[in-house]
Chain A
Amino acid sequence: MHMELKHLLAVGMAATIGIGALSARTWTSADGSKKFEGELKVFDKDGGKVTIIKRNGRSMTFDITKLSEGDQTFLNENAAGDAAAGGAENVQEALKAQKVGSKLSKRGILEKIDGKKFAKYELTKAPEFYIVYYSASW
């Protein structure tokens, strides 16, 4: 029993390290003149955009063509699959850490029109800013 627990802990730690190693890395600009460390937040493979959180906490979104070939290969080969596997879960975790997002992500708060009826809706991104539009039909 004790050995099983140790084995489970070891497997859990390895999985966590693996995700961390995939997300945080040193990125290089396309011309190789600049390097910076940051954690991958969002990779939109279809749109060719990437959002990276720098070590100072500031997020940057830009076209992946601004990154080196190596970084682009890394994103296309590794990060797309990672995002697909854990993207939705990561968004919910990020929202929970926000003052605004934590309330909006509670079940049943948000709805979106689906045909003629409102349907329950969950945010698909954890934005830094929210435009709140107050209005009424009258």
Chain B
Amino acid sequence: MKQYKEDVADNPIVELIHVSLDQDEKAAEAWAAKESFPWPTVTMGKMKKSGLEAYSPRGIPNYKLIDKDGNVVAEGKGAVFQKVKELKKTEA
């Protein structure tokens, strides 16, 4: 949540999309409400239509950084947020 606020919330070139792999959408909703997730979510039933099923990881939790053309730029929480920080410096 802290990294989201620091590196994503006010960053015009990066957005975070949460893909919930909960089979039970009510469970996904309850979790998002409990944690007050500030980011948009794709629930499992809409994953295929969202185009994000193609990037499904082997295990969770997992982070991927994808460019607007669909290329995977980085994978793994550390690598993803490091790349985002680099992008912020480049943009500054």
Contact = CB atoms under 8 A, between A and B. Distances in A.
The residue in B15, B51, B87 that gathers the most chain A C-beta atoms within 10 A of its C-beta is B15
- Chain B, interface residues (CB within 8 Å), range: 35 or more
Contact of B33 (A42, A44, A113): A113
Given A100-B66, A100-B69, A118-B29, A129 B13 contact: yes
Interface residues of A, number: 43
Contacts, number: 165
Nearest to A129: B14
Interface string A123-138: 1011111111111111
Chain B facing A: main interface SS: mixed
Given A113-B29, A131-B15, A100 B51 contact: yes
Contacts of A123: 15, 40
Contacts of A117: 29, 33
A60 interface: yes
Contacts of B91: 59-62
B72 to A, nearest CB: 9
A131 B84 contact: yes
B21 to A, nearest CB: 4
Interface of B: 8, 10-22, 27-33, 36-37, 39-43, 46, 49-52, 55-57, 60-70, 73, 80, 84, 87, 91-92
6 contacts: A98-B68, A101-B68, A103-B49, A115-B33, A129-B67, A137-B20
